[in-house]
């Protein structure tokens, strides 16, 4: 089906050349959505070419409007507001559009693997603590960006890098050793990631206690932080780990496995997945090798203490360490190795997207610049999707102090809250208990995911659990409830949905709904190009609102004209399909009954 925008632009070109004898560059012929306070669907701004036409904006807009109504059958009428030409599209075109949408399988989605290969990295946790609320935003963003880009035709590989080595895990190991309890997930009944996270918090408490004691003995804060026995022991563990000390390595493997088992359960509950998992312990050696090559070629420089740095002050940045004086690697080192490994493993890769919080903005500026200086031409194909942090009404979370919102606990809480609210509505008579529990989980997770995704990724987000699960307003449950209403309507209709009747009349609420459905492919394309599930989420909310207006103004079940009723049922079916596919791209399920 030919897009209405293309039809109108061609009509405008013809009108300008035929009536006014002028040719306008395409960049000046951009259409935009008509503002809600005016009649029309699309608006042309004529100001850019009034000088060329040698007439006032309103006069030019009126001349163009008259010519377009006469020459383009898809345009019914027009109105002019100063230099803005608002065009009203014919009902016949919108009915053709509804028929096209109804007949198009997977409407809105592009042909699979028709666009360049994209890799999306998300989650990427440390193995010293369980996943928390911030990880939820990261995972939901990463999963949704991946699915949206896939729907837009990209071949997509979802990956994560697990930061399984470094001082952070050594802190948990040191605290576990110091306790002497030899606790395990089996002996404590704790999820493995939570057990390791407990020891990370214990380390921090002991470390702070030692710092305070050393300051009391006359050391300054910096000295105390360096000389505390806990941190010295953790650093010693890191050196032993990098030299493959058998005892230390065995403990590292054991505690990390506890964490992996815990993560796997949490990811399953989140509904996210990965095509490939990288481990920092496997990529940092490649990074160290590349750093040594860069040192030999003059990209990097070595200090007297043996540490290796890169000086980026000429680029407006600073000096960045790549290898410590004791030879141990930093995050940057492993990120260099991981990026190289990925482009080697996937020769078709054209884009590498990192979903990482904005506190790492500087890190990625440095990473991409280093890769460029090392001569990797694909460095310009790397992109950091920098998202804002998640705050709570009571303030910022702190992992070391154990004041984070645990992901497992929050997901369970959301399901329980959904249960309370849904039971109050009292519409689940005859539903099996297992079905109810699945529904509660779907609503709770839908509320959580939608709330975290509806905000532009770049913006900081204040998470309010009670607001997220409201059945009114811009929430996941509101959209889910609207979808369930559509399923109820189709069930009550009780027969096959007919083909679109072009002879039946249609009201303004039907036309408004069709126009919004028509936008679905563009929304997916824009959300993909902008790495923004928020665009899709807010579109689905608008679609649900517009459907409810249509539902209220069009008494579908009592309509006596069969053709009109049939067209309305096509609208119900098509809108349900778009909402289901759109919500799935957000990782949110929709129930047939609520």
Asked if residue 29 has pLDDT above 60, the reply is yes
Segment 471-488 mean pLDDT: 95
Choose one of 333, 367, 391: the last residue of a domain: 391
Are 17 and 157 part of one and the same domain?
A: no
Are 165 and 283 part of one and the same domain?
A: yes
Tracing tokens 């383009």 back to the chain, one arrives at 72
Are 335 and 449 part of one and the same domain?
A: no
Return the bridge partners of 308, or none.
Answer: 302, 323
Asked whether residue 198 is assigned to any structural domain, the reply reads yes
pLDDT value at residue 317: 96
Asked if residue 84 has pLDDT above 70, the reply is yes
Asked if residue 54 has pLDDT above 90, the reply is yes
Asked if residue 400 has pLDDT above 60, the reply is no
User: What is the residue-averaged pLDDT of the chain?
Assistant: 94
Asked whether residue 399 is assigned to any structural domain, the reply reads no
Provide the residue range defining the domain that includes 34. 4-89
Distance between CA 3 and CA 9 in Å, rounded?
A: 10
Segment 368-372 mean pLDDT: 98
pLDDT value at residue 397: 44
Query: What digits encode the pLDDT tens for the residues 113-123?
Result: 999 999 999 99
pLDDT value at residue 214: 96
Where residue 403 falls among pLDDT bands split at 50, 70, 90? Answer: low
Are 185 and 320 part of one and the same domain?
A: yes
Q: What is the CATH number of the domain that holds 154?
A: 3.40.50.620
Segment 537-552 mean pLDDT: 98
Are 149 and 286 part of one and the same domain?
A: yes
Choose one of 48, 70, 89: the last residue of a domain: 89
Choose one of 43, 67, 89: the last residue of a domain: 89
Nearest to residue 248, comparing CAs of 172, 161, 320?
Answer: 172
Asked whether residue 105 is assigned to any structural domain, the reply reads no
The number of angstroms, rounded, from the C-alpha of 235 to the middle of its chain's C-alpha atoms is: 36
Query: What digits encode the pLDDT tens for the residues 323-348?
Result: 999 888 888 999 999 999 999 999 99
Nearest to residue 45, comparing CAs of 17, 72, 64, 68?
Answer: 64
Query: What digits encode the pLDDT tens for the residues 464-473?
Result: 888 898 888 9
pLDDT value at residue 399: 45
Query: What digits encode the pLDDT tens for the residues 442-458?
Result: 999 999 999 999 999 99
Q: What is the CATH number of the domain that holds 27?
A: 3.30.1360.70
Where residue 427 falls among pLDDT bands split at 50, 70, 90? Answer: confident
Q: State which H helix or E strand residue 43 sits in.
A: strand 42-45
Are 194 and 244 part of one and the same domain?
A: yes
84 CB-contact burial (10 Å; exposed 0-12 / middle 13-18 / buried 19+)? buried
pLDDT value at residue 554: 93
Are 291 and 378 part of one and the same domain?
A: yes
Question: Considering the chain, what percentage of its residues have pLDDT values greater than 70?
Answer: 98
Q: What is the CATH number of the domain that holds 570?
A: 1.10.730.10
Asked whether residue 506 is assigned to any structural domain, the reply reads yes
Asked if residue 482 has pLDDT above 90, the reply is yes
**DSSP for residue 48:** G
Segment 155-165 mean pLDDT: 95
Are 16 and 136 part of one and the same domain?
A: no
Number of domains in the chain: 3
Asked whether residue 116 is assigned to any structural domain, the reply reads no
Contact between 460 and 391 (Cβ < 8 Å): yes
Asked whether residue 152 is assigned to any structural domain, the reply reads yes
Query: What digits encode the pLDDT tens for the residues 190-227?
Result: 999 999 999 999 999 999 999 999 999 999 999 999 99
pLDDT value at residue 395: 52
Are 426 and 367 part of one and the same domain?
A: no
- The 3-state DSSP class for residue 9 equals helix
Are 383 and 424 part of one and the same domain?
A: no
The number of angstroms, rounded, from the C-alpha of 203 to the middle of its chain's C-alpha atoms is: 34
Asked whether residue 381 is assigned to any structural domain, the reply reads yes
Are 302 and 414 part of one and the same domain?
A: no
Are 34 and 157 part of one and the same domain?
A: no
**DSSP for residue 104:** S
Asked whether residue 402 is assigned to any structural domain, the reply reads no
């Amino acid at each position: 089906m030919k897009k209405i925008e293309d039809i109108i632009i061609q009509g405008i070109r013809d009108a300008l050349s035929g009536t006014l004898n002028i040719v306008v560059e395409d960049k000046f012929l951009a259409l935009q959505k008509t503002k809600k306070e005016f009649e029309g669907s699309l608006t042309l701004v004529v100001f850019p070419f009034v000088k060329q036409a040698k007439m006032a904006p309103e006069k030019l807009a009126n001349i163009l409007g008259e010519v377009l109504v006469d020459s383009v059958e898809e345009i019914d009428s027009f109105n002019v507001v100063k230099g803005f030409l608002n065009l009203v599209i014919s009902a016949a075109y919108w009915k053709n559009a509804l028929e096209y949408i109804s007949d198009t399988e997977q409407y809105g989605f592009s042909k699979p693997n028709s666009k360049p290969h994209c890799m999306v990295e998300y989650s990427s946790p440390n193995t010293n603590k369980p996943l928390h609320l911030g990880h939820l935003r990261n995972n939901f963003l990463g999963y949704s960006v991946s699915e949206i880009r896939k729907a837009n035709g990209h071949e997509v590989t979802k990956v994560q890098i697990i930061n399984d080595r470094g001082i952070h895990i050594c802190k948990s190991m040191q605290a576990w050793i110091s306790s002497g309890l030899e606790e395990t997930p089996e002996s404590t009944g704790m999820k493995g990631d939570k057990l390791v996270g407990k020891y990370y918090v214990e380390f921090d408490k002991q470390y702070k206690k030692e710092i305070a004691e050393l300051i009391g003995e006359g050391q300054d804060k910096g000295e105390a932080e360096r000389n505390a026995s806990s941190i010295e022991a953790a650093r010693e563990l890191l050196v032993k780990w990098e030299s493959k000390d058998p005892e230390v390595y065995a403990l590292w493997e054991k505690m990390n496995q506890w964490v992996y088992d815990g993560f796997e359960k949490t990811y399953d509950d989140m509904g996210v997945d990965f095509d490939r998992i990288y481990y920092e312990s496997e990529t940092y050696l490649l990074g160290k090798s590349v750093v040594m090559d860069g040192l030999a070629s003059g990209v990097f420089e070595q200090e007297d203490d043996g540490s290796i740095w890169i000086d980026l002050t000429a680029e407006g940045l600073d000096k960045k360490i790549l290898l410590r004086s004791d030879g141990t690697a930093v995050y940057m080192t492993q990120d260099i190795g991981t990026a190289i490994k990925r482009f080697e493993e996937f020769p078709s890769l054209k884009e590498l997207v990192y979903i990482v919080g904005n506190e790492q903005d500087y890190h990625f500026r440095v990473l991409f610049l280093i890769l460029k200086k090392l001569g990797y031409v694909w460095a310009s194909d790397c992109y950091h999707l920098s998202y804002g942090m998640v705050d709570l009404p009571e303030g910022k979370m702190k992992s070391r102090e154990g004041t984070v919102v645990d992901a497992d606990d929050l997901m369970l809480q959301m399901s329980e809250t959904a249960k309370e609210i849904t039971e109050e509505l009292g519409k689940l008579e005859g539903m099996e208990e297992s079905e109810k529990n699945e529904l509660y989980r779907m609503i709770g997770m839908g509320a959580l995911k939608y709330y975290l995704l509806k905000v532009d990724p770049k913006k900081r987000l204040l998470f309010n659990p009670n607001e997220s699960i409201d059945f009114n307003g811009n929430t996941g449950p509101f959209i889910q409830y609207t979808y369930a209403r559509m399923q109820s309507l189709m069930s009550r209709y009780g027969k096959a949905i007919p083909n679109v009747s072009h002879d039946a009349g249609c009201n303004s609420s039907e036309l408004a709904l069709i126009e919004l459905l028509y936008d679905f492919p563009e929304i997916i394309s824009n959300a993909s190009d902008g790495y923004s599930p928020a665009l899709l989420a807010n579109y689905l909310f608008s679609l649900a609102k517009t459907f409810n207006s249509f539902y209220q103004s069009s008494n579908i079940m009592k309509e006596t004209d069969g053709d009109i009723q049939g067209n309305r049922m096509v609208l119900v079916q098509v809108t349900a399909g778009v909402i289901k596919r759109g919500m799935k791209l957000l990782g949110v399920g929709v129930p047939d009954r609520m």
